[in-house]
Structure formats: structure tokens, C-alpha cells
Chain A
Amino acid sequence: MSIPIIYVILRSLFAGAERWLRLLDQRIPELLWNTLSLTAAVTVFTVVVGVALAWIVSRTDIPGRKAWQWLLALPLVIPPYIGAATYISALGRSGPVRELWQGSALLVNLFGDYPLNLISFWGVFFVLSLFTFPYVYLVAGASLRKMNRNYEEAARSLGLNAWQIFWKVTLPFLRPAMGAGAVLVSLYVLSDFGAVTMLRYVTFTAAIYFQRAGFDTASASVLSLVLMLLTLAVLGIESLTGKKSKYYQTAGTYREPATVNLGRWKLPALFFVGCVFFFSVLLPLGILAYWGSLGVRMGALDQRFFAFAFNSLKVSSFAALLCMLSAMPVIYLKSRYPSAISSMIDRLAYAGYALPGVIVALGFIFVFNNHLPVLYRTFYMIALAFVVRFLPQAMQAGEASLSLISPRIDEAARSLGCPPWQVMFKVILPNMLPGALAGGALVFVSSLKELPVSLMLRPPGFDTLAVRVYFEAQEAAYHLAAPAALLLIFVSLIPLRYLLSKY
């Protein structure tokens, strides 16, 4: 599974000193700045917003608290490249808002020419933040709800007010959750391809894709190696800070955390939460619904559309099946017969997850074109790449359900004369099945929305819905992109319930 990655590394090492020097001199500093500044800005911003939202909806008496708790997780189902396309279609240079602005003499005279330029750092920052903050929000919300009330009451009894308690007690408790959320967001920004290319902001992923599209594969490999190192650095930072501090909760005396009375802050808080929800869910969905209905009336749901949907279904369900089948033995071995090998396999699986799709795709092209020509440019190649990228999703879900099955049950089956493989198939698997299926559903949805791998590996005549959304949106044919985008979003809603219950 790691062979494609090793291939990319080798290719980059043999790219030649001259190419390395030229890239180091010209491209890499600029790309590093573009990528790191964006990652840092989005991460800091989403941590602040995510923690604030989590605190408001889980610890205060904001009206409609229960509803907000899941409403604010909804942006997760909108892939950022779709979000970017909706914003460009509405606020971009050819969008209706600009036309209105330029058409109104009052606005132009008062504020000058149309001020919003989405094709900029701030445009990318805004779009990526809107659709990634739920990672922080969910993780922070989960630990806020688990926090023991005793600590805060102790602080209050020592004379701290609500504000001081938040800073001195609650926030330090949240540090691990904030760290985990920040890593999720930074990994996402590093690997995002669709939103940055739509908004013409060149980060490493975009540069790799464009170099590859111009068939300068050696340069693409060099850039990939740098991006891999960046990804490793983010993971390294996480494991460093994660070890430094541990927070213990005494389980015996656990009491539900208290709710803060917002008082006169109720309206501002409601406004803030509402604003975030409006910009990250309501507005994009509204714009999509507008374009979608326009498209349907213009006949976008034709035979071609259903062929694309069928392609998506085919490759995603095959990837989900492969993931379920390969996840089960791995997690079974890991939990029942832990060894150096099983933990290495486990680590490797997670490595694929952290790697940006463009790199996985690049490696797959090398390997399949040179060594596996039978599968080259078939949809099996895409499905296998999805397995590399999304296997951990299936593994996590399976592990959760396997941990509920006591090893005693295995032993009982063994004592009744079953060989180990029979134990696995007759006893463990049937009991693990709900978890494994849930994992399969997660993989299915991730594969459906996946863009860079599908784009770079697609065989002739095998466009998927995600690829179509990307192409149509780039051609500004939003009425053709919207129906596919809406379909992707609605299918993504299915496993959201599972995701939410996990946190």
C-alpha cells in the first residue's frame, strides 16, 4: 500500500540536482509561504471560532441549544470545492452581486468599485474556514460536555467570575481537544485541492497538480516530497504537544457541567451562531438550490448525468467494499494478536489517510503504468487509491465495535473446537458487522466526494459526479454543476449521524 508513496519519494530523489536547485530557488519558497500562511491562518481562526461555538452551544442557555448542536456540524457535508464554487458563482467577478453593486451609482460613489475579490488569500481563507471549523467544534464540544463540574465550582468558590473561569479552568482543559482539532484542520488545508484551485490560489497541492498536468512529473515529485515533509511536521507537532500534558478527570464524582446564563449576551451570541450557520450552510445551499432548479429546468438531469452518477456509485461502493474487507483482518489481528507487524500495518494505513490525494494519485500513476498495466486507467485503480486514502475510516469504525466484543467470547469459541480463522468468520465478524458497515458507509461518502484522485486517475469516459462539479464550475456552467453538487451533499448526510454520535 505504501509502494506508490515510496515511488514518489524515489522519483523526487532522482529528479536531478539542477531541477531541485531551480525549484528550491524559485518555486518552493513561494509555495511554502502560500501554503503555510494559509494553513496557519485557517487553523488559528477555526480554533477560535470552533471553541467559541462549542462553548456557546454546549455550556450556555442559548435558545435552541439542542438544534444548534447538530446544525453547526452540517458544514462538514459540504465539500469545500463545492462551497468555493457557490461563493464564486454568487460573489465572484461575473456574479450577480457584483453586477448589482456596479449597477448602483450610490454604492459605487460611496464605497468605490466592487470591493470583494474572492480570488485572493482572504477569499481562500474565508471559504476554507467556513467548511473546516466543524472539526474543531465537534472535538471541543465533546470534551466540554465530558468536563466535570467540580473543577469550575472549585474555581468559583475561590472567587473567579465566569470569564476568568473560562480562561483559567475551561480553556486549559480544552487544550488537548484544541490541539486535535487544529491538527485535523491543518492536515485538511495542506491536502485541499479543489477549493484552492477553484479560487486560483496556488498551494503545494495545486502546484503538484499543475506540474503533473503539464507532464513535468519529476518536478511534481519534488514538490510532493516537500509536502509530505510538511504533513509529517504537522503530525510531529501533534505528538509532541500531546505528550506534554495530561488531564485527568475523576470518574467517581462526575457531574454534568453547569450552564451559564447568557443574560444580555444572549442576542449577540445568537447572532454570532446564526451568522456562522448562515454563511456555512444556508447561503451555499440556497445558492445551489437556485442553480439546481435552473439546471433541472434546462434539462441538466439527462442521460449523461445519470451515467456520471452511476460511475460515482460504482467506484465508491467498490472502494467501500474493499475497505471493509481489508479493514477487518487488520483490526482483528491488531486487537487480538498485537505484534510489531500488526502495529506497523496499522501505522501505514493511517499514513495514507494523512497524505494529500494528489500525491497518492501521482504514485498510483507511476506504479500502475509501469508495473500493473492491466489495471492502469481502469476504475479499479481509482478504487484502490480510495482504499489507501480512506481505509482508516473503516478501521476506526470497526475497531470501536470490536472493542465491545470480549476476548472471552473468542476463547469460548476456541474451547469448543473452532480453529482461529473460523472464530473470526463465525463469531467475530457477525458481531462486528454493524461497525464495519458504518465504516463502509463513511468510506463510501468520502469516496463520492473525493476530487483530486478521481480527477487525476479517471479512465476515458469515466467522469464521476465530483469531477463533473469541478469541470462545470470551472467553465462557469453552475446550473450544470449544482444538481450533482446537491446530490453529493444529500448522500453525505447519511453517515453524519454516526459521525456525530462518535464525538
Chain B
Amino acid sequence: MIINISIMLLQLIKEAFTLLMKRKGNVFTLALTILLAAALFFGGCGGNQTRQALPAGDAAAPGDTAALPETGRLVVYSSRNEKFVQSLLDKFEADTGIAVEALHGANPMQLVEEAQNVRADILISNDFGALGYLDRQGLLQGANPRGIESIPPLFRADDNAYFALSLRARGLIYNKDLISYAAMPKSNEDLFEARWAEVPGGYAITRGGNAGMIGHVSALRYQWGDEKTAAWIAAISTNAAGIYEGHGDIRKAVGRGEHAFGLVNNYYFHQQLMEPKHNNVGFIYLDQGEGQMGAIANAAGVGLVRGGPNPGSALVFLEWLLLPENQVMFVGESLELLINSQYGAAYPPAVAPHVVDFKDLKIQEMSLKELGNYFEDTKALIEASGLALTLK
């Protein structure tokens, strides 16, 4: 049956060709014929291409990965800014010869949806809570990649199913033309006050579904419990003058002077310092005083997906990533803080004097691995407290 139909199709296409060849000079139809042929060609070969194995690179493949089949491909889902991740993946391709297929702008929840139908090998996430959550759902898989001991135990799962490479702290970026350091709020508690709505241009926060905001609220829930946290969310969503999609919009708006300050991660402050204009900004690390909770931190890292199609490549990738130069590259243009700061992440001259090392900061005592336990309910709490997850 199927063979019959394909023979008929081929017949049809042959006839179409002969018919078209008889006509002359019609560029339009000629173009369409080429299109038709191209479609057939791609349609025919597309299926093979996805399954076809490329020659495997062996540059970084150590002995213990030899047991796993090497497919020459690696599928990476990333929720991190594409600019930071793509250059890292390009270097991986160049170093190992393994072809990377990347899905940028992916949501960690896609792994939950695809649990029966796993497509990804590696998840790169900006939110340590998301990695912890996926691990708790049994979607990540433990591993023992070479070099993992360079990551402090606090920043990796017990079975190394996921680990962090870079850190960020939450805080307030402020425009020095509009507000002085002394006049700024210094703690999460301070943000309860309605008077911050009165500063020039007010202040800016992200929508509730933003990964940074979710992590922030999870940490507050750990510290304060749900009731006080809900009141805090209600206060900031009422008092904020602008609610934005992401932190990049906030730092630009504060830099331009549209808002006096905005709640962001510290590396957005670093990024704004790099702008040619509108860069007269400062940054407040929150809750640094005596008896205060300390700055809320979050980490970016990678997780190994359970049952991914290319387990061999995935392990090669993890070991490659743990090489010091590649840990530095993971931070790259994002201007976050490298967990292994001794590897010497290079910051541009405009930023370097403003970088505060994590060792010099008072950080909330909650272990980042705890974040995963809060991930799911936090979104519900945010929405119920009146901060929409998506922009309205």
C-alpha cells in the first residue's frame, strides 16, 4: 500500500517535471520546481539526519566514559541568557567535536512535561531551585564526573545530579542622580514601607514568574514563613511603580532615570556599569547589618537529565565544564561571581572595582539546595499575594 502510493507520487513528480521542462522562460514555475525538489530532498533526508551519528571527538573523553555509547551529539536545554551560553557551547563544539543542539529560553518545567519522552541531555539553569526541584521529581541523574570535587559540597547535590558554577546575590540597583546611598532602603524589611512609592520615579520589580523573583520569595519563606512573605509580596507589588518582564529591562530603566531603584541580581548592576551612557548607578546588598538575615543568594549551574539520548556526550560535557578555564567561561559576559573565585574570572576595568567577593558578603544561611523544596508552592504564593506571574 505505502509502496504503491510512493510509486504514484514519484510518477506524479516525474510528470510534473517533464511538463515544466516543456515550458520555457517561466522563472516563477522554475523556482517552484526547485522548491518542490528541495522539499522532497529535505523531507527525504531529514529523518536520517537526526539519527545520523557524527564522528565522535575524543579530546576530553576520559577512560570512565568509554563504557557509555558516544553519539557525537548533545542536546542542551538552557534557561540562561543565550548570549552567555552560546559562546560556551561553541567552544565545547570546537574542543570536542561533539555537535550541540541547544534550546535557548527553555523552561525547566519542559523536562517535567517530557518525562516520558526525554529529549534533553543537559539542563543549564539560572535557578538552583529549579534544578533541586527537578532532582526531587526524579528527573535528574547522579554522576561522578572528573573534577567535581572542585565544587564545594554546599553547591552540588549529594549524588552530583546537579551543581552550581556561579553565584549572584539579590539587591537594589539605584540611580545615583536620583537618590543617595543614605536614602536607600537597606533590608527586605524596609521594603514593607509605603514611602518608597514616593521616591522620584518610584521603584521597579520583575513579574512574579521571573526565576530570580521566585528564588527571592522562596528564601523569604524559609526565613519568615508564608504569612509575612505574602504581606511582603503584596506590599512591593502595590508600591512598585513598574513591573517588568526581566531584570535587563529594570537595570536599563533605572540607568535612564525612569525609576530611582529596582530589585535585581547583583550582576545586572555590573552589566549597567558597562553601558556607555546612563551608568551612574550603585548597588545595595540587602540585610548586611548586625542581626539581619544577610543577602539572598542564588546560583546558576547544570543538571544531568535522567534517560537523555546522549549520556556519553553529557558526561564529556560535565567534565569539560569542570575544567577551570571553562568554569571561568561559564560566568563569561554575565559578570556573575564565580564560585571558584581562585580561578580568576576576568572582569572588565569598569566593573572590577565594584565586584564584592562572596567571602566578604553576609549571605543568608539557608542552603541553596533547600530552594528546590520551595520551588513549586512559591509560584502559587506569589500569585495569590497579588503579583501576577506574567505581565498583564
Chain A residues in contact with chain B, CB under 8 A? 30, 93-94, 200, 202, 207, 210-211, 213-217, 313-314, 317-318, 320-321, 324-325, 365, 369-370, 373, 376-380, 425-426, 429-430, 433-434, 437-438, 440-441, 444, 458-462, 471, 475, 494
Contact = CB atoms under 8 A, between A and B. Distances in A.
Closest 3 CB pairs of A and B: A461-B101, A215-B109, A317-B39
Interface in B1-60: 8-9, 11-12, 15-16, 19-20, 28-29, 31-33, 35-36, 38-40, 42-43, 46-47, 50
Nearest to B114: A369
A317 B38 contact: yes
Given A314-B42, A321-B36, A321-B39, A461 B103 contact: yes
B112 A471 contact: no
Interface residues of B, number: 53
Contacts of B101: 459-462
A242 to B, nearest CB: 33
Query: Which of B39, B50, B101, B209 is most buried by chain A, counting CB atoms within 10 A of its CB?
Result: B39
A318 B391 contact: no
Contact of A425 (B12, B103, B104, B389): B12
A313 B39 CA distance: 8
B176 interface: no
17 contacts: A200-B245, A202-B391, A210-B209, A215-B110, A317-B42, A318-B46, A321-B36, A321-B40, A369-B116, A378-B46, A380-B46, A425-B8, A425-B15, A437-B33, A460-B77, A461-B101, A494-B31
A313 B38 contact: yes
Interface string B94-130: 0000001111110101101110110110000000000
A214 B389 contact: yes
Given A317-B35, A324-B36, A460-B75, 13 more contacts: A210-B391, A215-B110, A313-B42, A376-B114, A378-B50, A429-B12, A430-B19, A433-B16, A437-B29, A444-B35, A459-B103, A462-B101, A471-B82
Contacts of A320: 35-36, 39
A437 B29 CA distance: 8
A339 B9 CA distance: 26
A461 B121 CA distance: 13
A393 to B, nearest CB: 14
Interface of B: 8-9, 11-12, 15-16, 19-20, 28-29, 31-33, 35-36, 38-40, 42-43, 46-47, 50, 75-77, 82-83, 100-105, 107, 109-110, 112-114, 116-117, 119-120, 209, 245, 252, 256, 379, 389-392
A430 B42 contact: no
Contact of A376 (B75, B112, B117): B117
A93 B254 CA distance: 13
B382 to A, nearest CB: 11
A317 B114 CA distance: 28
B77 to A, nearest CB: 7
A94 to B, nearest CB: 7
Contacts of A207: 390
Nearest to A215: B109
A373 B32 contact: no
B230 to A, nearest CB: 17
Contacts of A30: 392
B63 to A, nearest CB: 29
Contacts of B77: 460
B390 A425 contact: no
A455 to B, nearest CB: 9
Nearest to B33: A437
A215 B109 CA distance: 6
B209 A214 contact: yes
A440 B42 contact: no
B82 A434 contact: no
A441 B35 contact: yes
Contacts of A324: 36
B117 A441 contact: no
Contacts of A438: 32
Contacts of B15: 425-426, 429-430
A425 B117 CA distance: 40
A437 B32 contact: yes
User: In the complex, which of the residues A200, A314, A430 has the most CB atoms of chain B within 10 Å of its own CB atom?
Assistant: A314
B371 to A, nearest CB: 18
Nearest to B31: A494
Contacts of A317: 35-36, 38-39, 42
B87 to A, nearest CB: 12
A318 B43 contact: yes
A497 B53 CA distance: 44
A468 to B, nearest CB: 10
Contacts of A93: 256
Contacts of B103: 458-461
Contacts of B29: 434, 437
Contact of B46 (A314, A429, A437, A475): A314
Contacts of A314: 42, 46
Nearest to A211: B390
Contacts of B19: 430, 433
B17 to A, nearest CB: 10
Nearest to A201: B391
B174 to A, nearest CB: 19
Most interface-central of B8, B15, B16, B42 (chain A CB within 10 A) = B42
A377 B119 contact: yes
Determine which residue in A217, A317, A458 has the highest number of CB atoms from chain B within 10 A of its CB, and name it.
A317
A86 B317 CA distance: 39
A438 B36 CA distance: 12
B16 A430 contact: yes
Contact of A318 (B42, B102, B116, B390): B42
A471 B75 CA distance: 20
B35 A440 contact: yes
Nearest to B18: A430
Nearest to A325: B9
Nearest to B99: A461
Nearest to B390: A210
Contacts of B31: 441, 494
B8 A318 contact: no
A425 B11 contact: yes
Among B109, B252, B392, chain A packs the most CB atoms within 10 A around the CB of B392
Contacts of B107: 213-215
Nearest to A463: B104
Contacts of B109: 214-215
B123 to A, nearest CB: 11
Contacts of B28: 441, 494
A30 B390 CA distance: 14
B112 A215 contact: yes
A461 B105 contact: no
B308 to A, nearest CB: 11
Contacts of B47: 380
B207 to A, nearest CB: 9
A2 B112 CA distance: 26
